[in-house]
Structure 1
């Protein structure tokens, strides 16, 4: 697991892109922060709840229902996540790829709307058609793809398009694709696409912690133990 992740983090084939979505927005923003500030990836493409937040912070009114959903999901992490996301938009505006359209659930129907048509009083459940095309093209042209989180509410057939096409693009791409996050990994397994990915992590939250640059206590303990064992072995050799 660590070796596969390090391969994509330390020596990524270029261009390297991160595709970050789902509703664990604070985790995805932490990953984006690490990857952009340490020049691991060349672009960050945002989907799902991450896209909704970044679109809102870019000056668009996403509608009260969508704003309130984000606030509820983030809870106490709302303000620190927003501050970190704002800083990323200021420092890396040219590297963060926002959707150009979104799909809202209006009376149980999928309705695609451009950003200029916002706000919308209905919940945003997926990327719009043009954004899906743009993302698929970027994935197919990439050398390395870090993928985390679905692109929308894939449980509803009308709003699974973004996620399905995103995964299909990863399967068709020649890029080294690293998949993190439980939902995304499960979807890939269900669609029998695992063999077409570079690595599908089963680490869940631990994987996200690692690619966001956080220390993993268990790994740190193993490394410390290995160093101590090496020192003891060397000391024993010297004594002999």
Structure 2
């Protein structure tokens, strides 16, 4: 969704809803009838790609309404985080068929081998719990990649099927479709705790509601076909569990359209929401947020929302150059400068001052003459600036010292976005040092949450994920939660507990 779209969404929510109870009831009703063909068809990971450090589309057209955006952000009411406890009701699943929406969107290499099975392994506790409670059958549904609404064997869940059997140490029946008479028949007849994995949901345009033709034009699914698709998914089981936090922000058919009387959160979903609730609603202080990323304009709502909650904010990564240019007129060379986001820098800094939030910026940088691992590497401080033909791709040792000092002070840490282009070894120093610092903090008993996406990749790449309090499985979902948005996949659950975010 664009920044303008976020603005309109927040404006509508502010005008129409007087309290969270109204937000919850109205959102729940709305999500059940939402036309998913109008939604963006991008994937759940919204974090910047490495190339965005070099070139970003800054012509977003938001300059003309930046003042109104600021006004809306000041009014924006953050909804409570909603969690669900129904999954652990005793005998709730006995003799029932259970549909579990999981997120098995795992990375594959060219040989179709899974390179990181975290998302599969993270769902095992929910599957095993339901089976231990006497479920008649467990039906697992997921997407994988972007097959564009049609069957494409490149995105088959067959590799996931094999890995799932290996992890569970039991047989899993893999079906070649996710809807239809044959699938319904097999699922209805399943018994004795049988586990069934459906084929990729996105092999059907009705899952996302749209696809693109050969020319790149959007094709929308027929609403009647979407209805039939959702009805077929609904016919597969008695109880619905959403354990796919990574797609909870998508109002796709398998997320909001399975119309069963009982819709509950899985153990992974509940764990995700519990951790974010602790951090955002009742954190031990000082509370530190670390934000990287390429463009300020992508993080305006996120930064504004966090400024109402944190004590310290580290701004690093590509967007730091925009802040430094606006606030200090620093020479940044060919480093990323986000003109659209620059319009809101002073507003955000002023809000930080009003809320007594300390902002920590990098003060030195590792530079390069090109975006390449073999680039000529240099060093620059903010006082001297970056030469006109160079770009900053990482922070320097003085910046790391400042970041470590802030991390040492904090009792609660939320990290979203690395400080450098860690994908290129010469520019991974800052990211490695920051990871070491938050791991040390976590080992000292402080709460450290990594908000999915590229930052989760960092923790996994350097073998530190198990040393962090919580590494989220959701990139875009965690971002939207941190921005204060209601997640469609949570709003439709039938039994909820609310935790005030005020």
1:183 match: 454
Name the SS for the 1:48 alignment partner: coil
Alpha-carbon offset, residue 83 of structure 1? 3.3
CA distance in 2, matches of 1:88, 1:171: 29
CA distance in 2, matches of 1:182, 1:44: 19
CA distance in 1, matches of 2:345, 2:469: 28
Alpha-carbon offset, residue 82 of structure 1? 3.0
Alpha-carbon offset, residue 102 of structure 1? 1.7
Residue of structure 2 aligned with 1:54, choices 291, 299, 323: 323
Alpha-carbon offset, residue 212 of structure 1? 1.4
Name the SS for the 1:116 alignment partner: coil
Deviates more, 1:108-117 or 1:3-12: 108-117
CA distance in 1, matches of 2:384, 2:315: 19
1:235 match: none
- Establish whether residue 96 from structure 1 lines up as the match of residue 362 from structure 2: no
Q: Which has the higher helix share?
A: 1
1:1-240 to 2 correspondences below 5 Å:
1-36=272-307, 38=308, 40-66=309-335, 69-71=336-338, 79=340, 81-93=341-353, 95-106=358-369, 108-121=375-388, 122-173=390-441, 174=444, 175-222=446-493, 225-226=494-495
Runs of 4+ in 1 over 4 A off after TM superposition: none
Alpha-carbon offset, residue 61 of structure 1? 3.4
TM-score by length of 2: 0.41
Alpha-carbon offset, residue 144 of structure 1? 0.7
CA distance in 1, matches of 2:290, 2:342: 19
TM-score by length of 1: 0.82
Name the SS for the 1:51 alignment partner: helix
Name the SS for the 1:31 alignment partner: helix
Which runs of 5 or more structure 1 residues have no equivalent in the other structure? 72-77, 228-240
Cα gap change, 1:127 to 1:64, in 2 (>3 Å)? closer
RMSD: 1.9
1:118-164 CA-to-partner distances (Å, cap 9, x unmatched) read: 14221110112100111122212210111011111112222110000
* 2:420/2:428 contact within 8 Å kept: yes
CA distance in 2, matches of 1:70, 1:215: 31
CA distance in 1, matches of 2:403, 2:479: 21
1:93-135 CA-to-partner distances (Å, cap 9, x unmatched) read: 5621111212211472332211111142211101121001111
Number of residue equivalences:
214
CA distance in 1, matches of 2:419, 2:411: 21
CA distance in 2, matches of 1:49, 1:210: 22
Larger-gyration structure (1/2):
2
CA distance in 2, matches of 1:191, 1:95: 29
1:26-66 CA-to-partner distances (Å, cap 9, x unmatched) read: 34332221011x2x110111111121121112132343522
CA distance in 1, matches of 2:298, 2:478: 10
